[in-house]
Structure 1
Amino acid sequence: MNNGEMLAGLLAQARASGSDLVTLRAIVEEASELGSQRMLSRLGLDDETAIGDLSELRELLQAWRDAKASATQAVVGWAVRAVLALLLLGLAYRFGVAEIIR
C-alpha cells in the first residue's frame, strides 16, 4: 500500500465516522504545507535567496558535468593517439624503416 492509498483510506475512515470531507482535505493540505516548510527549513532553503542558491547549484552541477565530459573526451583522444603512434612505430619497425634511415 503506497502513501496515496493510505491517505485515501484514512480520509474514507474519517468521513465514515462523521468528519466533513472538505475539512479533512484542508487538514491534509495544511499538514503537507507544514511538512514541506519544515523540510525546506532543515535544508536551509527557507529564505528569499533560496531560488538563487538552487539556480547557482544547478549551474555548478552542469559545469561539473561539462568538465567531466570534456576530460573524458580528452583522455579518450590521447589514448587513441597513443595507440595510433604505437601502431605506426610497429609498422615502421616491421618494414625496416630504421635500417633505411641508417
Structure 2
Amino acid sequence: MIAQLVAQAEAEGAGLVTLRAITEEASAAGAERALARLGLGDEGAVGDVRELRELLSAWRDAKKSAVRAVIGWVARVAFALVLIGIAFQAGLTGKLGQ
C-alpha cells in the first residue's frame, strides 16, 4: 500500500493529501510492527493489557494503603513515647509501682 501511495505521489507531484495518506499508512504499519515485536499483535493483547492495568492499579492501591498504615503506626508509637516522656517528667512512674 505504501509503495502504491509513493508511486502516486511521484506521478501527481506529491500533493498534500497524498503525502498525508503516505504518512498515515507508514505510521499504521510501524505501529503494527512495534506491537507485534512486543508480543501485543494478537487478538488477546487487549485483554492482557487490560489485566496488566488492573494489576498495576491494585499494586498502587496496596502500596498506598501500606504507606498509610506505616505512617499511622509511626504516629501512634511517637504519641506513646511522648506520653511516656510526660509521665517520667511528671514523676508518675514512682506511683505506678506502689
Query: What TM-score results when the alignment is normalised by the length of structure 1?
Result: 0.78
Q: Any gaps of 5 or more consecutive residues in structure 1?
A: 1-13
Q: Which 10-residue stretch deviates more, 61-70 or 26-35?
A: 26-35
Match of 2:76 among 73, 81, 84: 81
Greater RCO, 1 or 2 (C-alpha within 8 Å, sep 6+): 2
Q: Deviations over 1:53-97 (max 9, x none)?
A: 010011001001001100100110010001001001001111111
Query: How many residues are treated as equivalent by the alignment?
Result: 88
Query: What TM-score results when the alignment is normalised by the length of structure 2?
Result: 0.81
RMSD across aligned positions (CA): 1.8
Task: Please state how far the C-alpha of 1:24 moved relative to its aligned partner.
Answer: 2.2
Tell me the residue number matched to 1:28.
Answer: 23
Q: Any gaps of 5 or more consecutive residues in structure 2?
A: 1-8
- Distance, in Å, in 2 between the alignment partners of 1:21 and 1:90 is 79
Q: Deviations over 1:2-59 (max 9, x none)?
A: xxxxxxxxxxxx79x9223333222211111100001111111100101100100110
- Distance, in Å, in 1 between the alignment partners of 2:65 and 2:17 is 55
Q: Percent identity?
A: 57
Tell me the residue number matched to 1:48.
Answer: 43
- Distance, in Å, in 1 between the alignment partners of 2:17 and 2:79 is 73
- Distance, in Å, in 2 between the alignment partners of 1:19 and 1:76 is 64
